[in-house]
């Protein structure tokens, strides 16, 4: 079980990590500024295993990979949203952060509630209810299973 | 089965006869661009995460420092040095201080028919020349750099038929913001926007860049125009040749089709904090502004500087307004000097700055403070995009921005 941190529709990557922190040397230096414009306490309150829940078009805007990277570095277990913007979605898979499309859960849960997620079953549970999630295409699931795109590359014998 | 331009480019890059929307293909990338927004992380991963660090084809790589130029802090300087040293060590084409990455790419690299990855969301700009450019993160960029390849889920194409001609005083930026306002911030999520029709023929490469550049603000993977005589003339003038010129087949499949009559478009503005919060500019006239910005990969080319200068000529920037003018590249800057535009801006009281992303990305030049308001020709108006989280950004055309800078509040050019 993990706690839900819920955000609005069209949540853009500038809100996840603002531009002025992107050129800091490391993700660890950036992560203390995660969601600073919306919830400055987020980095202190989020615990490993917690979830970020969004609405439609989560992660729109800039291609900054720092956005999924700071969430992963803070221990966010997965991002669950009604839909994702394509670059954030692809970046998250590439770094091994599960991004799950679930049409019903975001409306049904409140910020601060508990939830759990079974990636293999494609089911999210919260408040005694079950919510079906859209399974990732097999190609992307494989990248995720191997720990991300670079981990999968390192397994190849030709590179 | 017929294919669209985007599908034909992916098929060529995948080395197959045909592709269909929804297929996943491994593709050979024609070029990869990376800027200082993420390259320091790419370099770290290259040295620290790869089992066998290598570059498939160094000639495909372009590194461009354009986001924080000149550097705003010692930490930024360190990140940029990492990028600069890596480029020099590996013989990668390297540009610094010479312009916004997409402008540099269009001036010097992009060719019709190419499949290009850029570690920047506005890489979709390259569709103005009939190329498939799309934004990726630094892990994708690294994978492409090492293998020369990547994977692509073939997107559906949505056709935007452009009819008529824009009225005087209305610009491609008004058109594209109108389209985004109508279809929404995820209106074409993971799809390609293909622009065609007689209206498309009235648009220059510069104009087409304005449209394609903002496609990501509607969620598109890319946007594309057919490489017609206008595009090929742009290429010839720069001594480049197309990789391939593709046309969409008459029986190509489109997910949806829209028609926009250019003659009906009016000056518009996007209100804070969403690019699709588009209203007629007349609805926001009178909003007090603290800063105005003319520049960016969307709207910092010679056409827009001419529009701005024509309005500023013989007028003064309002006393309480900082008006930032930022040519998109050195080439644009030199042209503007030759035409006397820089002189006009300086005499009006504008702050003319070096080519870079400037306040459009809100981390370096011209950042705005608590509760301040900016009117901008930049790409985005997200919450805090230009500085303090409580600050507000309105998006408008070069004409609306320049007129507002004079009046000190949002207004359209015809109101001066």
pLDDT tens for chain B, 416 residues long, are 899 999 999 999 999 999 999 999 999 999 999 999 999 999 999 999 999 999 999 999 999 999 999 999 999 999 999 999 999 999 999 999 999 999 999 999 999 999 999 999 999 999 999 999 999 999 999 999 999 999 999 999 999 999 999 999 999 999 999 999 999 999 999 999 999 999 999 999 999 999 999 999 999 999 999 999 999 999 999 999 999 999 999 999 999 999 999 999 999 999 999 999 999 999 999 999 999 999 999 999 999 999 999 999 999 999 999 999 999 999 999 999 999 999 999 999 999 999 999 999 999 899 999 999 999 999 999 999 999 999 999 999 999 999 999 999 999 999 99
Please provide the DSSP assignment of B362-386 as one string: TSSTT-B-TT-EEEESSS---TTTT
Among candidates A18, A95, A137 on the partner chain, residue whose Cβ is nearest the Cβ of B139: A95
A69 CB neighbours in chain B (<8 A) are 41
Give the percent of chain B with pLDDT over 90: 100
Q: Do A23 and B67 touch (CB under 8 A)?
A: yes
Q: Which residue of A has its CA nearest to B357?
A: A19
B37 CB neighbours in chain A (<8 A) are 22-23, 62, 64
Confidence of residue A158 (pLDDT cuts 50, 70, 90): confident
Q: What is the pLDDT of residues A2-52, one digit of tens each?
A: 999 999 999 999 999 999 999 999 999 999 999 999 999 999 999 999 999
Neighbour tally for B251: CB within 10 Å: 8
A159 has pLDDT over 90: no
Q: Do B153 and A137 touch (CB under 8 A)?
A: yes
Element (H or E) spanning B195, and its range? Answer: strand B191-196
State the nearest Cα–Cα gap between B22 and chain A, in angstroms: 10
A148 CB neighbours in chain B (<8 A) are 139
State the nearest Cα–Cα gap between B338 and chain A, in angstroms: 34
pLDDT of B67: 97
State the nearest Cα–Cα gap between A144 and chain B, in angstroms: 13
Q: What is the pLDDT of residues A123-143, one digit of tens each?
A: 999 999 999 999 888 889 999
**Could you name the CATH architecture of A2-155?**
Alpha-Beta Barrel (3.20)
Domain architecture of chain B: domains with CATH: 5-261 (3.30.499.10), 268-415 (3.30.499.10)
B274 CB neighbours in chain A (<8 A) are 10
Q: Do A23 and B80 touch (CB under 8 A)?
A: yes
Q: Do B367 and A86 touch (CB under 8 A)?
A: no
Q: What is the pLDDT of residues A83-112, one digit of tens each?
A: 999 999 999 999 999 999 999 999 999 999
Domain edges within chain A: 2-155
CA nearest B382: which of B397, B360, B404? B360
Among candidates A20, A37, A65 on the partner chain, residue whose Cβ is nearest the Cβ of B139: A65
What is the predicted ipTM?
Answer: 0.96
Q: How far apart are CA B54 and CA B142, in angstroms?
A: 10
The 3-state DSSP composition of chain A as helix, strand, coil percent (nearest 5) reads 35, 20, 45
* Helix, strand or coil, per DSSP, at residue B302: helix
Q: Do B147 and A159 touch (CB under 8 A)?
A: yes
Q: Do B385 and A19 touch (CB under 8 A)?
A: yes
Q: Is B370 exposed, middle or buried (0-12, 13-18, 19+ CB in 10 A)?
A: exposed
State the nearest Cα–Cα gap between B54 and chain A, in angstroms: 8
pLDDT of B40: 98
Among candidates A23, A86, A153 on the partner chain, residue whose Cβ is nearest the Cβ of B143: A153
């Amino acid at each position: 079980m993990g706690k839900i941190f819920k955000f609005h529709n069209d949540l853009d990557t500038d809100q996840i990590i603002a531009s002025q922190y992107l050129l800091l040397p490391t993700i660890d230096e950036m992560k203390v500024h995660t969601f600073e414009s919306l919830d400055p306490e987020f980095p202190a309150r989020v615990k490993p295993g917690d979830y970020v829940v969004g609405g439609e078009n989560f992660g729109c805007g800039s291609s900054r990979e720092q956005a999924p990277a700071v969430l992963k570095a803070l221990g966010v277990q997965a991002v669950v949203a009604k839909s994702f913007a394509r670059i954030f979605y692809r970046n998250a898979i590439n770094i091994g952060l599960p991004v799950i499309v679930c049409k019903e859960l975001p409306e049904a849960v409140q910020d601060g509630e508990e939830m759990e997620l079974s990636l293999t079953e494609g089911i999210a549970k919260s408040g005694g209810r079950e919510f079906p999630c859209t399974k990732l295409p097999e190609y992307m699931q494989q990248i995720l299973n191997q720990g991300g795109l670079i981990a999968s590359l390192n397994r190849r014998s030709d590179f | 089965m017929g294919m669209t331009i985007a599908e034909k480019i992916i098929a060529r890059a995948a080395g197959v006869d045909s592709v269909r929307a929804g297929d996943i293909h491994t593709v050979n990338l024609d070029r990869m661009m990376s800027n200082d927004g993420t390259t320091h992380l790419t370099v770290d991963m290259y040295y620290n995460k790869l089992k066998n660090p290598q570059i498939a084809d160094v000639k495909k790589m372009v590194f461009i420092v354009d986001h924080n130029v000149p550097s705003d802090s010692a930490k930024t300087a360190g990140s940029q040095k990492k990028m600069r040293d890596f480029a020099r060590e590996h013989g990668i084409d390297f540009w610094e201080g010479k312009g916004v990455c997409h402008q540099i790419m269009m001036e010097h690299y992009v060719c019709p028919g190419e499949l290009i990855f850029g570690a920047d969301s506005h890489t979709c700009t390259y569709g103005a020349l009939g190329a498939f450019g799309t934004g990726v993160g630094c892990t994708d960029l690294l994978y492409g750099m090492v293998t020369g390849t990547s994977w692509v889920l073939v997107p559906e194409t949505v056709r935007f038929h452009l009819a008529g001609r824009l009225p005087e005083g209305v610009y491609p930026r008004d058109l594209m913001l109108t389209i985004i306002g109508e279809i929404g911030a995820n209106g074409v999520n993971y799809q390609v926007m293909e622009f065609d029709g007689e209206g498309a023929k009235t648009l220059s490469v510069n104009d087409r860049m304005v449209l394609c550049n903002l496609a990501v603000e509607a969620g598109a993977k890319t946007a594309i125009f057919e490489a017609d005589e206008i595009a090929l003339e742009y290429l010839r003038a720069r001594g480049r040749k197309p990789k391939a010129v593709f046309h969409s087949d008459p029986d190509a499949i489109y997910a949806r089709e829209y028609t926009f009559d250019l003659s009906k478009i009016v000056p518009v503005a996007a209100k804070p904090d969403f690019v699709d919060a588009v209203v007629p500019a007349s609805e926001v006239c009178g909003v007090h502004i603290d800063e105005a910005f003319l520049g960016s990969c969307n709207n910092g080319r010679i056409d827009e500087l001419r529009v701005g200068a024509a309005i500023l000529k013989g007028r003064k920037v309002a006393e309480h307004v900082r008006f930032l003018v930022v040519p998109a590249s050195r080439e644009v800057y030199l042209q503007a000097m030759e035409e006397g535009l820089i002189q006009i801006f300086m005499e009006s009281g504008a702050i003319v700055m070096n080519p870079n992303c400037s306040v459009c990305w809100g981390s370096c030049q011209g950042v705005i403070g608590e509760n301040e308001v900016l009117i901008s020709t930049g790409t985005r108006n997200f919450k805090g995009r230009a500085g303090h989280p409580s600050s507000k950004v309105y998006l408008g055309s070069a004409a609306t921005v320049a007129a507002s800078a004079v009046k000190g509040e949002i207004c359209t050019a015809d109101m001066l």
